[in-house]
Structure formats: C-alpha cells, structure tokens
Amino acid sequence: MVKTFKVLIIGEGAVGKTSIATRYTTGGFKESHLMTVGANFMLKNLELKDGSALRLSIWDTAGQEKFRKIVETYYKGGKGVLVCFDVTNRKSFEEIDYWFNTSKSKIPDAKICLIGTKIDLDVARKVSKDEALSFAKELNLPYFETSALKNLGISEAFEYLSEQMIKEEKV
C-alpha cells in the first residue's frame, strides 16, 4: 500500500511556490503564473532510496497577506512543509518567522525545510547563502537552494522531506 503525505508549500507571494510545485510534479516550467488564491493541489508518486513508495499530496498555497487566514485552513493533516523565500527579495526572507511559527503552531509534528528560491538570479541576490544557512541553523531546519527555471535543488528538497516523513511514520 502506498502511503500518502500532505505537504504544504508556504511563503510570501511571488517567491516561486507554484513554479517549484509544477517543476517537481510535471517537470514543466512557465515564465509567468497567475496569483494563487487559496491553494492549488498536485500529486506526485515517488520511491525513496530505501524502497519506500509514497504519494505526496502537494498543496501550493497563496502567499499574499490577505489570504493568510484562508491558507491556515489548509494546514490540517499536513506532515511536511516547505517554507520558501526568494533569495532576490529581502522582505520574503524577513517574513520566514511568520510562516515557520504558523506551521509549528498548526502542525507541531510536521517536518519542515527552509527553501531559498530563484538562485538562477544570482546577480540580483539580496540574501546570501551563508545568511540563509545561519538562519536555518537557528531554527534547526535543513536548508535547500532551488531554481525552478534551471531545475536545481527541487527534487533533493522534496526527497529529503519525504525521507524525514517516512522515517517518522516508521517510529
């Protein structure tokens, strides 16, 4: 039997959450997206290195402040969370505390990873890798840098999160 895990992708608006979810689930990438209202839902079947088969129910959530209360309703049943920020957008990094703390309060046992997006835009970078790593360490979170455009780091982040969720299930 394939075990299903609910994974939320959260963070400020326009940080690349939809691009990450789309790249991971379909392999595709679109240059532009409409703003997510509420959440989009996608599925991904995968097999981990240990042979565990699982299905991820991936919830790509809205990031705009006006949707925050709606997004909180999607946390129920979540087992994993990708907290995303855009490395070229300092404000999205500064809002991580809100997203992390909300996740911890709504689903205290969830496995969480911090995700820096849009690393292909290195010349416009406003948050260094060292600063993000240091902040992730403070929160005791693994940190992954990603680019949906170039398909970098996305599979690694989802697979790491999946391994942590399956490990928790086996305990």
* Distances, alpha carbon 142 to alpha carbons 73, 82, 164, in Å: 25, 10, 11
- What is the share, in percent, of the chain residues with pLDDT greater than 70? 89
In this predicted model, what pLDDT tens digit does every residue of 49-92 receive, in sequence order?
A: 888 899 999 998 765 554 456 667 789 999 999 999 999 999 99
DSSP of 31-92? S--PPP-SEEEEEEEEE-TTS-EEEEEEEEE--SGGGHHHHHGGGTTEEEEEEEEETT-HHH
List the helix and strand counts (H, then E) for the chain: 6, 6
- 151 pLDDT higher than 90: yes
- 12 pLDDT higher than 90: yes
How high does pLDDT run on average in the chain? 90
Tell me phi and psi for residue 93, to 5 degrees.
-70, -40
Q: Say whether 144 sits in a helix, a strand or coil.
A: strand
pLDDT at 74: 84
> What residue ranges define each of the domains in the chain, with the CATH number in brackets?
3-170 (3.40.50.300)
Quote the pTM value.
Answer: 0.93
Q: Say whether 113 sits in a helix, a strand or coil.
A: strand
Q: Say whether 167 sits in a helix, a strand or coil.
A: helix
Using the structure block, give the residue that is written with the tokens 């993000």: 132
Kindly report which listed range (58-72, 99-113, 126-140) carries the lowest average pLDDT score. Answer: 58-72
Query: Which pair of tokens denotes residue 50?
Result: 């240990």
